[in-house]
């Protein structure tokens, strides 16, 4: 690899492959239907309506993994966690922790920049009722695996939700008997083994979790404080 130029090319090819994907007929139909019907508040906007790639610092040490694009969030804006309540909660926390240059994000061209963080998801298409089917998860997982491989400085991973947690483990357990079976616990920090990144688990910042108090701003802030500590930032 000849520096950052080759790294950018690798990521561009990856993103192009993600965006062009039509492997899951149910998800293709749903994401495209939503992009046509739209939500009343966004009737004047052109929805993205395609698989959503990850984004962030290509030399990041920290990977953040969510579940899937929101139907009227990332499926509309074309950038993961952008344009919905989950993203508002996440980006504010990342800003407070020093990982983002601004606390909000509503558009993929709004100037948001991430420092030492790359954000992605288990699934790249918005699923009906925010619930991808097991076969759809299995189809999409290779994209996440490739991103893990492309992050040459990867030190730690934050799993947002149990599905992200379980599928990250599955990736690292493939061909490695040494990676243990682990139980999801909010705030749990897990050692996956020598030479592998550590794993930090958090409840997903979904509206369901944040509005019910299952995940508070203080609880979420502790996740990023722990991540900073492990990266040697504080």
For the chain, domains (ranges, CATH) are 4-231 (3.40.470.10)
Inform me whether the pLDDT recorded for 139 exceeds 80: yes
Residue 199 φ then ψ, to 5°: -125, 125
pLDDT score of 4: 72
CA distance 10 to 131: 30
Encoded tokens for 68: 């899937």
In tens, the pLDDT along 40-55 reads: 999 999 999 999 999 9
pLDDT at residue 65 greater than cutoff 80? yes
For residue range 159-213, list pLDDT tens digits in order: 999 999 999 999 999 877 778 889 999 999 999 999 999 999 999 999 999 999 9
HSE of 206, CA atoms in CB hemisphere, 13 A: 17
The pLDDT assigned to 179 comes to: 81
Q: In the predicted model, what is the mean pLDDT of residues 126-152?
A: 97
Model confidence at 23: pLDDT above 90: yes
pLDDT at 3 over 90: no
In angstroms, the CA 6 to CA 2 distance is 6
At which residue do the structure tokens 């076969």 appear?
135
How much is the pTM?
0.95
pLDDT tens digits, one per residue of 156-167: 999 999 999 999
Question: What confidence score (pLDDT) does residue 159 get?
Answer: 98
- Percent of all residues in the chain with a pLDDT value above 90, rounded to a whole number: 92
């Amino acid at each position: 690899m000849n520096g950052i130029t080759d790294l950018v090319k690798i990521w561009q090819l990856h993103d192009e492959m993600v965006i062009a994907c039509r492997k899951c007929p149910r998800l293709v139909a749903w994401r495209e239907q939503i992009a046509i019907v739209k939500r009343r508040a966004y009737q004047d906007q052109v929805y993205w309506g395609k698989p959503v790639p990850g984004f962030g610092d290509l030399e990041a040490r920290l990977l953040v993994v969510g579940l899937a694009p929101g139907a009227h969030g990332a499926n509309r804006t074309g950038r993961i966690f952008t344009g919905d309540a989950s993203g508002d909660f996440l980006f504010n926390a990342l800003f407070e922790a020093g990982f983002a240059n601004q606390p909000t994000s509503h558009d993929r061209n709004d100037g948001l920049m991430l420092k030492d963080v790359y954000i992605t998801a288990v699934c790249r298409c918005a699923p009906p009722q925010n619930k991808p089917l097991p076969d759809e998860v299995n189809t999409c997982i290779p994209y996440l695996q490739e991103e893990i491989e492309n992050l040459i400085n990867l030190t730690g991973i934050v799993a947002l939700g149990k599905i992200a947690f379980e599928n990250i483990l599955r990736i690292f357990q493939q061909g490695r008997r040494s990676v243990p079976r682990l139980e999801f616990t909010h705030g749990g920090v897990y050692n996956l083994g020598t030479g592998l990144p550590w794993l930090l688990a958090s409840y997903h910042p979904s509206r369901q979790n944040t509005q019910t108090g299952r995940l508070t701003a203080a609880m979420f802030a502790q996740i990023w404080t722990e991540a900073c500590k492990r990266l040697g930032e504080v």
